[in-house]
């Protein structure tokens, strides 16, 4: 059964109802799921602590809502289509029944290793169907998964293993990415020199030489050997943790965002069906990686709960050629395509040549996520990919929100380039100024907050509830603060303006400036650094680092290269600064605070309007930095 809206007036009516009577509204949506025991109370909350609970005392298993609930009708429908990195390698299709059996076998496999309810399992895998199988098997046995993007370094991986006290890691021997082969298992081994887990399960993908530690490491295929293809799902409470996903904030250390079972399930399915206007039989393709929240909510959970066919692509947009996306859409007759502005801009740079010869007529809906989409990219996407007839859903949300909160409903909400348009039912937004005063009415600009809970919202940051309170619920009283700036225009439409905190968004990947600074400072010659974002044509934002080094620096360019490599090895290649400028000092206030506003101006090249620099300890340093800028 689908709770899909069909008309603009239907949406407006539903929205009003959802605000006037939120509990009745969400109870109605949740009633179409299979609960072993229905909830006693829909919602209990306060944003002070925060303490938010949905569907209290409801008992369920999320995977029963993907499989058992639908197998009779959907068993033979493709659940996952997998497209490999190499176009010459055959693609794979798993029907709902086949996926169910794989999940069951792997659930037994995990349990045979002593992994059960409440244990944390790190998934560090390439984009193969087994990554989704591992997530679903965790959900089935009640283990809490934490997927770590396979592009992160061994240090980042070790930090996450330690923070969540993981019992096991599911990984692979290697990963194919374009013309590169990444030694995934070797990175895991390196991480495990700094910490430890009981079990490492290795899926064979590349067949490359790896080392296996006896007693700790085992092969995926050996472990599932002979395991039954049926499995009795664990009974979970609605508020039991489903997963932890680490994300960057304004401090140096990424935090483990916690999502729980019932609310996340209800919201991801509801938002998936409504935003993309999914209809049965549609082939849906989201190009994200499972290591990001988009890969969780809109590649695995949302689509599978809706009975959709979800396509997973192992490779990158430009390999072996810049038409790879369009070739895949043609090959698998994709109906709904969801990608990031950075990918659109990167492909736009190749012109329309690579699109020619690929039939894109199967497309009905296009989506965008991860960062603000500029008007030019929006129009290119609309004209050349959607051929002017596919609505674009510009979906705003965050790791913390679990699901899409502001977006057009495809084909229903009239769109405006670069606007995420209107909130989904149940989402109560508010715009505040820097002092926290609410800005009412239209044509206003300020900080985006949310005033009422929604089912898939963050519950805590793993192991540190105070940090969750501090970060999201203390800036403005009784409000969840998103960290984004926003404008509400004369029509009441929302346009996201980007982060107002020290988070930068590089190719849709969130990065804390402090996190990058910490990594730069690990280089023995670095004394101090300051990192800011600057506008980048393809990536949205690039990373600009101002670095003070020790005086004995004979070769600048090799030092700059070394610093970049240091960052790549500590965080991962995605965090490598695009520009590094060695400077004699940094603009600091008398109290020692770095004036990032000035550095941002210098980084973006607007050199004449520095604003007030009189509070600086040493105003002359600004001129020196400008002179040193290449």
Does residue 449 touch ligand 7RM according to CB under 6 A?
no
Among the listed residues 371, 502, 515, 517, the single contact to ligand 7RM using CB under 6 A: 371
Tell me the closest approach of the beta carbon of residue 245 to ligand 7RM, in angstroms: 9
Stretch near ligand 7RM under the rule CB under 6 A, chosen from 45-53, 73-81, 364-372, 463-471: 364-372
Please, which of residues 246-265 interact with ligand 7RM by CB under 6 A?
247
CA of 354: how far to CAs of 317, 348, 384, 421, in Å? 11, 10, 11, 31
Q: How many residues bind ligand 7RM (CB under 6 A)?
A: 24
What the block records as the tokens of 52 is: 């938010």
Near ligand 7RM in 312-341, by CB under 6 A: none
What's the rounded Cα separation, in Å, for the pair 453 and 52? 7
**For ligand 7RM, the closer CB: 151 or 372:** 372
Pairing of strands 59-60, 236-237: antiparallel
Write a three-state SS string for 212-255. Answer: CCCCCEEEHHHHHCCCCCCCCCCCEECCCEEEEEEECCCCCCCE
Q: Can residue 366 be called a binding residue for ligand 7RM (CB under 6 A)?
A: no
For ligand 7RM, give the closer residue by CB, 153 or 399.
399
Instruction: Indicate which single residue of 254, 263, 291, 370 sits in contact with ligand 7RM (rule: CB under 6 A).
Output: 370
Q: How far is CA 242 from CA 58, 189, 194, 273, 303, in A?
A: 14, 26, 27, 21, 17
Q: Would you count residue 372 as binding ligand 7RM (CB under 6 A)?
A: yes
Under rule CB under 6 A, residue 289 binds ligand 7RM: no
CB of 106 or CB of 480, closer to ligand 7RM: 480
| Both tokens assigned to 379 | 């129009």
Nearest to 339 by CA among 400, 392, 269, 375: 392
499 binds ligand 7RM, rule: CB under 6 A: yes
Output 408 or 453, the one with its CB closest to ligand 7RM: 408
Q: State in angstroms the smallest separation of the CB of 605 from ligand 7RM.
A: 23
The smaller minimum CB distance to ligand 7RM, of residues 39 and 493, is found at 493
CB atoms within 10 A of CB 101: 19
Q: Are 68 and 36 in contact (CB under 8 A)?
A: no
Smallest gap from Cβ 367 to ligand 7RM, in A, equals 9
Does residue 370 contact residue 344 with C-beta atoms inside 8 Å?
no
**Among residues 156, 310, 335, 398, the one that binds ligand 7RM under rule CB under 6 A:** 398
294 binds ligand 7RM (CB under 6 A): yes
Of 159, 394, 502, 517, which one interacts with ligand 7RM (CB under 6 A)? Answer: 394
Of the candidates 298, 271, 268, 302, the one whose C-alpha atom is nearest the C-alpha of residue 285 is 298
Residue in 423, 483, 542, 587 binding ligand 7RM, rule: CB under 6 A: 483
Contact stretch for ligand 7RM (CB under 6 A) within 236-244, 350-358, 365-373, 617-625: 365-373
Among 18, 395, 413, 447, contact with ligand 7RM (rule: CB under 6 A):
395
Which SS3 state, helix, strand or coil, does residue 513 take? helix
Residue 293 touching ligand 7RM (CB under 6 A): yes
Asked if residues 288 and 245 have their Cβ atoms less than 8 Å apart, the reply is no
396 near ligand 7RM, judged by CB under 6 A: yes
The span of 225-233, 343-351, 437-445, 496-504 binding ligand 7RM (CB under 6 A) equals 496-504
Q: Does 505 bind ligand 7RM (CB under 6 A)?
A: yes
Minimum CB distance to ligand 7RM smaller for 155 or for 342 = 342
Alpha-carbon distances of 373 from 370, 393, 403, 407, 535, rounded to whole Å: 9, 11, 18, 13, 13
421 contributes a contact to ligand 7RM by CB under 6 A: no
CB 3 within 8 A of CB 32: yes
Q: Which is nearer to ligand 7RM, 271 or 566 (CB)?
A: 271
- What φ, ψ does residue 436 adopt, rounded to 5°? 95, 5
Residue 502 interacting with ligand 7RM (CB under 6 A): no
Do 164 and 157 meet the contact criterion of CB atoms below 8 Å apart? Answer: no
Write down the least CB distance from residue 294 to ligand 7RM, Å. 5
* 397 lines the binding site for ligand 7RM (CB under 6 A): yes
Using only the alpha carbons of the chain, give its radius of gyration.
24
For residue 420, state whether it binds ligand 7RM (rule: CB under 6 A). Answer: yes
Q: How far apart are CA 324 and CA 287, in angstroms?
A: 12
Among 130, 484, 502, 517, binds ligand 7RM (CB under 6 A): 484
User: Are 144 and 241 in contact, with CB atoms under 8 Å apart?
Assistant: yes
- Please choose, out of 66-74, 197-205, 434-442, 477-485, the segment that lies near ligand 7RM by the rule CB under 6 A: 477-485
Q: Which residues within the stretch 40-59 sit at the binding site for ligand 7RM (CB under 6 A)? A: none
Residue 380, H or E segment: helix 375-380
- Exposed (0-12), middle (13-18) or buried (19+): which is 24, by Cβ within 10 Å? exposed
Nearer to ligand 7RM, 99 or 300 (CB): 300
Binding segment for ligand 7RM (CB under 6 A), chosen from 69-77, 88-96, 374-382, 389-397, is 389-397
Q: How far apart are CA 81 and CA 90, in angstroms?
A: 11
How is 568-623 classified by DSSP, letter by letter? HHHT-GGG--SEEEE-S---BBTTS-B-HHHHHHHHHT--S-----TTBS-THHHH
Does 510 bind ligand 7RM (CB under 6 A)? Our answer is: yes
| 3 state SS of 462 | coil
Q: Footprint of ligand 7RM on this chain (CB under 6 A)?
A: 247, 292-294, 369-372, 394-399, 420, 482-484, 496, 498-499, 505, 508, 510
């Amino acid at each position: 059964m689908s709770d899909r809206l069909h008309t603009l007036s239907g949406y407006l009516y539903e929205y009003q109802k959802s605000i006037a009577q939120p509990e009745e509204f969400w109870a109605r949506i949740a009633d179409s799921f299979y609960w072993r025991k229905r909830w006693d109370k829909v919602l209990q909350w306060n944003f002070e602590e925060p303490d938010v609970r949905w569907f209290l005392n409801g008992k369920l298993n999320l995977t029963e809502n993907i499989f058992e609930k639908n197998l009779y009708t959907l068993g033979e429908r493709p659940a996952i289509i997998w497209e490999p990195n190499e176009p010459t390698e055959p693609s794979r299709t798993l029907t709902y029944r086949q996926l169910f059996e794989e999940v069951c076998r792997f659930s037994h496999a995990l349990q045979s290793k002593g992994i059960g309810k409440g244990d944390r399992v790190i998934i560090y895998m390439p984009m193969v169907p087994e990554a989704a199988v591992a997530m679903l098997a965790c959900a089935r046995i009640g283990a809490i998964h934490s997927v770590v993007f396979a592009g992160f370094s061994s240090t980042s991986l070790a930090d996450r293993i330690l923070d969540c006290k993981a019992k096991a890691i599911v990984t692979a021997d290697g990963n194919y990415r374009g013309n590169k082969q990444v030694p995934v298992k070797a990175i895991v081994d390196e991480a495990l020199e700094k910490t430890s887990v009981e079990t490492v399960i290795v899926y064979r993908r590349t067949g490359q030489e790896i080392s296996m530690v006896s007693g700790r490491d085992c092969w995926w295929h050996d472990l599932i050997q002979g395991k039954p293809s049926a499995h009795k799902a664990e009974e979970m409470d609605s508020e039991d943790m489903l997963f932890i996903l680490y994300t960057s904030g304004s401090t140096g250390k990424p935090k483990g965002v916690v999502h729980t079972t019932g609310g996340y399930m209800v919201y991801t399915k509801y938002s998936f069906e409504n935003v993309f206007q999914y209809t049965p039989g549609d082939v849906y393709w989201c190009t994200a990686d499972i290591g990001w929240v988009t890969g969780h909510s809109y590649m695995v959970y949302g689509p599978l709960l809706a009975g959709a066919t979800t396509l997973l692509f192992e490779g990158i947009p430009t390999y072996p050629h810049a038409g790879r996306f369009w070739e895949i859409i043609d090959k698998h007759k994709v109906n709904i395509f969801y990608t990031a502005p950075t990918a659109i801009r990167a492909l736009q740079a190749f012109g329309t040549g690579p699109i020619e010869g690929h039939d894109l007529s199967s497309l009905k809906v296009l989506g965008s996520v991860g960062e603000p989409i500029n008007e030019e990219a929006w129009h290119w996407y609309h004209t050349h990919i959607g051929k002017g007839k596919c609505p674009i859903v510009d979906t705003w949300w965050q790791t913390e929100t679990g699901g899409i909160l502001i977006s057009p409903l495809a084909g229903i909400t009239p769109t405006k380039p670069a606007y995420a348009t209107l909130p989904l039912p149940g989402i109560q937004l508010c715009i505040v100024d820097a002092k926290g005063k609410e800005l009412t009415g239209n044509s206003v600009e300020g900080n985006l907050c949310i005033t009422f809970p929604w089912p898939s919202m963050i519950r805590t940051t793993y192991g540190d509830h105070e940090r969750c309170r501090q970060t999201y619920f203390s800036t403005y009283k009784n409000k969840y603060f998103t960290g984004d700036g926003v404008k509400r225009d004369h029509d009441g439409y929302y346009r996201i303006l980007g982060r107002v905190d020290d988070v930068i968004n590089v190719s849709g990947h969130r990065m804390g400036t402090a996190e990058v600074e910490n990594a730069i400072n690990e280089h023995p010659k670095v004394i101090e650094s300051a990192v800011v974002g600057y506008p980048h044509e393809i990536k949205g934002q690039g990373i600009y680092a101002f670095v003070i080094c020790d005086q004995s620096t004979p070769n600048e360019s090799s030092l700059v290269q070394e610093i970049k490599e240091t960052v790549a090895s500590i965080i991962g290649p995605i965090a490598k600064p695009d520009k590094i400028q060695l400077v004699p000092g940094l603009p600091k206030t008398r109290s020692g605070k770095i004036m990032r506003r000035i550095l941002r101006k210098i980084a973006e090249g607007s050199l004449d309007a520095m604003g007030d620099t009189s509070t600086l300890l040493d105003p002359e340093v600004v001129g020196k930095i400008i002179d040193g800028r290449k």
